[in-house]
Structure 1
Amino acid sequence: MTLGVVLAGGQARRMGGGDKCLLQLGGQPILTRVLERLSGQVGDIVINANGDPARFADFGYDVVSDSLEDYPGPLAGVLAGMDAAASRGAHDIVTVAADTPFFPHDLVAVLRKARGTLPVALAATPDPERGVNRHPTFGLWSVDLRDELRDALGEGLRRVVAWTDRYGAATAMFPAADGNDPFFNINTPEDLAEAEARLQASAR
């Protein structure tokens, strides 16, 4: 089984604090849209978030918090997901960001194909300047790495790609969807307005 892990641990400073994923997009919480996209691609889902888990009770999934203090970033959420997966007998996790409502419906399949026998694959999109733009919160991870990740975090490592590059992480390329970035994420009120416009355009 592959466990889906929704990374919702960010502090949303540019949105005035709180949980970005609970903001409304097209009459639904952003998180609802993320969960709907992910649910058909994995065996089960957990939400990685810190603080009172009761605020996610209506979504029907278990909430797992970081085992490290001081919000050390998405790698701590990956570790929390790996620990949850290990307790359920899952061998892999797929991580997605809770503020990215348009990620591909075939995310897991493409990540799995790209990963092959490697322990990690990260999503990416073409970039006209850099060639490749990796999206490190969207990845397929072997649970076998959890003890090594725990050690790396204990040593102070925080950047996702600094850790995944140790393992020669595979890159799973995703084209633009109708000219739009499939990994567009909502960081500001302007981004939320853009997401609303994109949602309305797709419904026409």
Structure 2
Amino acid sequence: MSAPLGVILAGGQATRMGGGDKGLLTLGGQTILSRVMDRLGPQVAGLALNANGDPGRFADYGLPVVPDSIPGFAGPLAGVLAGLDWAAEQGADRIVTAAADTPFFPADLVAVLEQASDGQAHPLVLAATKGEAKTKSKSRSGLIRHPTFGLWPVALRDDLRAALRDGLKKVVLWTDRHGGREAVFPDEHAFFNVNTPGDLARAEEMLA
């Protein structure tokens, strides 16, 4: 089986950072987006960037830029749908997503997600960790799910489109509906994301 396509999710409004693109912030002399590309690129068969607004600001990165097709900043699922539609045009059957503001995610992200999907009719898996977090989504098993990091099937894109048009925004409500699984990663800090200036300072410390 060929590797999935990769989609970097950068469609949010970055309100806690004062607006703009968090992925274009510099971390250790490199943009966070370039770090995410370097980490995800070797794991997938091709990359696209989900972002809204003028795609020209990402011209230096050489990636296809796919905007949300659902209006009104409908959340990460709108970015997943944009990625699934792009993948369908490429003839692919699945994608793996990663957030553009999360520079330290695992180098084996794709392999672990795919392993967890074994036996599923439609591969649908979210990354998860153990530990404490107030802003993440906890599953019934007590794991912390990271909904912007997942394996998604192209076959369910029309179902996702209908759910988004009905107003669904919470990722795990949709994945649970379709028998989504969790892939557990041992490092609870691997999915640390940069939301605020303080987070950026902490990321510099983590990098050092």
Question: Shorter-normalised TM-score: what interval?
Answer: over 0.9
Which residue, 70, 80, 83 being the options, matches 1:81? 83
Q: TM-score, normalised by structure 2?
A: 0.92
Which residue, 176, 190, 200 being the options, matches 1:192? 200
Which residue, 124, 131, 134 being the options, matches 2:128? 124
Q: How does 1:1-20 map to 2 (within 5 A)?
A: 1=2, 2-20=4-22
Which residue, 173, 181, 188 being the options, matches 1:162? 173
Q: 1:172, 1:40 → 2: CA distance?
A: 20
In structure 1, the gaps of 5 or more residues are none
Runs of 4+ more than 2 Å apart: 127-131
**1:40-77 superposed Cα distances (whole Å, 9 cap, x missing partner):** 00000000000000000101110000001111000000
Q: CA deviation at 1:8?
A: 0.2
Q: How does 1:58-69 map to 2 (within 5 A)?
A: 58-69=60-71
Q: CA deviation at 1:117?
A: 2.6
Which residue, 17, 29, 32 being the options, matches 1:30? 32
Q: 2:44, 2:116 → 1: CA distance?
A: 17
- Counterpart of 1:152 in structure 2: which amino acid? A
Q: 1:169, 1:115 → 2: CA distance?
A: 9
Q: 2:119, 2:95 → 1: CA distance?
A: 15
Q: CA deviation at 1:115?
A: 1.1
Q: How many residues align?
A: 197
**1:1-43 superposed Cα distances (whole Å, 9 cap, x missing partner):** 4110000001111111000110000001100000000000000
Q: How does 1:89-104 map to 2 (within 5 A)?
A: 89-104=91-106
Q: 2:100, 2:50 → 1: CA distance?
A: 9
- Counterpart of 1:105 in structure 2: which amino acid? A
Q: CA deviation at 1:128?
A: 5.5
Q: 1:184, 1:128 → 2: CA distance?
A: 12
**1:115-165 superposed Cα distances (whole Å, 9 cap, x missing partner):** 113220000001259631000110001100001001111111110000000
- Counterpart of 2:19 in structure 1: which amino acid? G
Instruction: Say which SS state the counterpart of residue 130 (structure 2) adopts.
Output: strand
Which has the larger displacement, 66-75 or 114-123?
A: 114-123
- Counterpart of 2:194 in structure 1: which amino acid? I
Instruction: Say which SS state the counterpart of residue 99 (structure 1) adopts.
Output: coil
Aligned Cα root-mean-square deviation (Å): 1.2
Q: CA deviation at 1:170?
A: 1.1
Q: How does 1:143-162 map to 2 (within 5 A)?
A: 143-162=154-173
Corresponding residue for 1:70?
A: 72
Identity of aligned residues (%): 62
Q: 1:32, 1:165 → 2: CA distance?
A: 32
Corresponding residue for 1:107?
A: 109
Q: 1:128, 1:193 → 2: CA distance?
A: 21
Instruction: Say which SS state the counterpart of residue 105 (structure 2) adopts.
Output: coil
Q: 2:33, 2:50 → 1: CA distance?
A: 12
Q: TM-score, normalised by structure 1?
A: 0.94
In structure 2, the gaps of 5 or more residues are none
